[in-house]
Structure 1
Amino acid sequence: MIADSHPKQAERLAALRSYGILDTPREADFDDIVDLASQICGTSISVINLIDADRQWFKAEVGLGVRETPLATSICSHIILEDDFVEIPDTLEDCRTGDNPLCLSEQGLRFYAGALLKTSDGLPIGTLCVLDNEPRKLNDFQKKTLNTLAKQVMRELELRMALQEQDVLRREMDHRVKNSLQTVSSLVRLYKSQAHPDSADAFDAVARKVEAISLLHEELHQTTSNELVPMQRFIHKVVDLLQASAPENVTLEFEADTLEMPSESASGIAMIVSEFVANSIKHAFPDDRDGIIKIVLKSDPALGWTLECCDNGIGVDGVEVAPNKSEGLGLKLINAVVMKLKAKVERDAKEDGYHMVIMPKVELVN
């Protein structure tokens, strides 16, 4: 006989589909469960069976070799209308299955036992079931195991749903943060256009900081919960952004070892790179001469990391200009970040350009 629809069919189907599990590839986590159920219960067939609107679909199966069958021949479609656990010792003697074509053949399904897969709201979405070609009964241990494994299936599904919801929330947060940062950048550009020329460098510094924060946020959105930033990729994006706004006569080069840093340190390194590049573009290449700015971030076994920034600009041949508030801003920002990073900086203006090396301070142990 064909099973009736569940009394809460619409809600049940909505709950099933909310897990996003239908028509997904086979996975070892679920395959292991049906394999274990089959071995413990001593049956040739075991299935994680999800009851859709017009089919039963198998997330995992042992002994069937198919991924779905029609509801017309589904035993589990009867079971989701009943108790948490149902055993049919002989399918030919049960009114629900006695006329089922899958049970009538010589090698038909003669034994069935299934534990419901139920949502936290009590809606049945399917079963974890075992089947065999001979009538039989499960012992108490086997029944308990099947119920326990069914709960494990649901825990796995609930966990995956929670992770999906978390990802959606993160994406929404990411979208809002990006919009907020874009708004800040627009306001900075607006205020710069209306401000006194002496304030232009300050507004530019703020704009660079906002851009670096935006890139850092993007990186953190892609990383795991330990909030370690892959520096090679992150600083490469910062350099690409700076190159896009650099004059045509200036080329930026970047090299980095593979290393990760906490987000606060990563933000500081990005700020240093941004300010060094901005200062070099402004002072190192007068008369539109061609120039190269090179950024090298290395992994250091003793120190953890070192950052080298250099340009091939005018160096010691440059005309020294008395610093004022705007012209000294980049240097002040770099010094502030270096202090925050508990690092030290070495600067040298040579004939081949300006060089700067930053590295963490070594703490002496008494």
Structure 2
Amino acid sequence: MRADPPPKQAQRLRTLYDYDILDTPREADFDEIVALAAQICDAPISVINLIDKDRQWFKAEVGLGARETPLETSLCSHAILDAPFVEIPDTLNDPRMADNPLCAGEDGLRFYAGALLVAPNGLPLGTLCILDKEPRRLSAEQRNAVAVLSRQVMKQLDLRLALRRQSVLMSEADHRVKNSLQTLSAMIRMHARGLTDDSSRDALDAIQRRVQAVASLHGQLQHNTGRDEVEAGAFLGQVVDLLQETAPAHIEIGCRSDAIALKAGAASAMGLIVSEFVANAIKHGFPGEAAGEIAIDLSLVDGCYRLICQDNGIGSASGGLSRPGGLGQTLLSAAAAQLDGTLDTALTPEGSRLTLTF
């Protein structure tokens, strides 16, 4: 006989569907649980089953060889209407299952024991069950083991649900941060256009570059599974791409990096240094329409990180002793101090060069 629908069926189904587990592939985490349950109970069949509207679906099973069956033949659909743990020593002596075709015949299922899979709201989703083709009883230790394993199944499901919800929230937060940074960047550009004072314009340009570097860092962190570090090559590549977009067409910017993972704070400081060097190289190193190149290189040498930024501009021919000055130098010094690093800048006949060791 088919079981009656459980109480609060609509809410129970919504709860089940929230887990997004139905019709997913087999997974070792759940396969190992049913294998262990069968071994502990010395039974040929063990199943993690979830009761859908018109079927029972098996997330994992041993000894059954199926992924789902209709509710008309479901033993577990009766179990979820009963106590937290249901044991039926002989199914043919139970009026709910005596006419079930799965229980009839020489190879019929004659023994059933199931521990409910209960969601945090108290509603049953299915069972972890043990089946045998001979009437029998479980020992107290076996019943306890099945109950414990059923709770482990729910912990796995709850953890996955929590991680999925966290991912959704992080995605929404990521979207909002990106929008905020884009809005801020647009406002900076708009205000910079109306300025005639060089120092004020330089300050806004520096802020603009900082916002762009932060946006790049944020994007890298969002793709790094929650760790507070980024792959330096990818991050530098994004920073350089943004700088290239605003650079004159006659200046090419390139970068190279060893396989290095940096903490977010270190990457942020390094991104600022790269941005400032490139901005000053473009401003001072290539007067007029002089073509040139700017190269960024990050390497790991003798246990220290070494960042080299250099251009092939006019260098010392500009008449200056070093670059940059004023606000740019203050930003560079502050970033180097944040890294507890050593910063060296120089102008040569071959161009400008910055070396940061940290």
TM-score normalised by structure 1 residue count: 0.94
What's the counterpart of residue 350 of structure 2? 352
Unaligned runs of 5+ in 2: none
Q: Return the offset for 1:349.
A: 1.5
SS of alignment partner, residue 277 of structure 1: helix
Q: Return the offset for 1:327.
A: 6.2
Q: Return the offset for 1:244.
A: 1.8
Q: How far apart, CA to CA, are the structure 2 residues paired with 1:90 and 1:357? A: 80
Residues 1:128 and 1:322: Cα distance change in structure 2 (over 3 Å): closer
Contact 2:322–2:345 under 8 Å retained in 1 = no
What's the counterpart of residue 241 of structure 2? 240
What's the counterpart of residue 3 of structure 2? 3
Q: Which segment is superposed worse, 148-157 or 197-206?
A: 197-206
- CA-to-aligned-CA distance 1:75-128 (integer Å, 9 cap, x gap): 101111110011111111111111111111321111111000001121000000
Aligned identity (percent) is: 51
Q: Return the offset for 1:319.
A: 4.1
What's the counterpart of residue 312 of structure 1? 312
TM-score normalised by structure 2 residue count: 0.96
SS of alignment partner, residue 236 of structure 1: helix
Q: How far apart, CA to CA, are the structure 2 residues paired with 1:246 and 1:105? A: 81
Matches for 1:197-276 after TM superposition, within 5 Å: 197-198=197-198, 199-276=200-277
1:147 and 2:134 correspond: no
In structure 1, give the amino acid aligned to 2:99. D
SS of alignment partner, residue 357 of structure 1: strand
- CA-to-aligned-CA distance 1:294-323 (integer Å, 9 cap, x gap): 0001123332x1100000111122244999
Q: Which segment is superposed worse, 294-303 or 109-118?
A: 294-303
What's the counterpart of residue 194 of structure 2? 194
Unaligned runs of 5+ in 1: 361-366
Contact 2:221–2:227 under 8 Å retained in 1 = no
SS of alignment partner, residue 248 of structure 2: coil
Q: Return the offset for 1:204.
A: 0.9
Matches for 1:1-366 after TM superposition, within 5 Å: 1-198=1-198, 199-303=200-304, 305-320=305-320, 328-360=326-358
RMSD: 1.6
SS of alignment partner, residue 316 of structure 1: helix
Q: Return the offset for 1:53.
A: 0.8
Q: How far apart, CA to CA, are the structure 1 residues paired with 2:322 and 2:300? A: 36
Q: Return the offset for 1:329.
A: 2.5
Residues 1:244 and 1:316: Cα distance change in structure 2 (over 3 Å): same
Contact 1:201–1:327 under 8 Å retained in 2 = no
Q: Return the offset for 1:288.
A: 1.2
- CA-to-aligned-CA distance 1:171-203 (integer Å, 9 cap, x gap): 111111111111211211121122233122111
Q: How far apart, CA to CA, are the structure 1 residues paired with 2:330 and 2:289? A: 26
- CA-to-aligned-CA distance 1:205-250 (integer Å, 9 cap, x gap): 1111011111111122222444122211111111111112211111
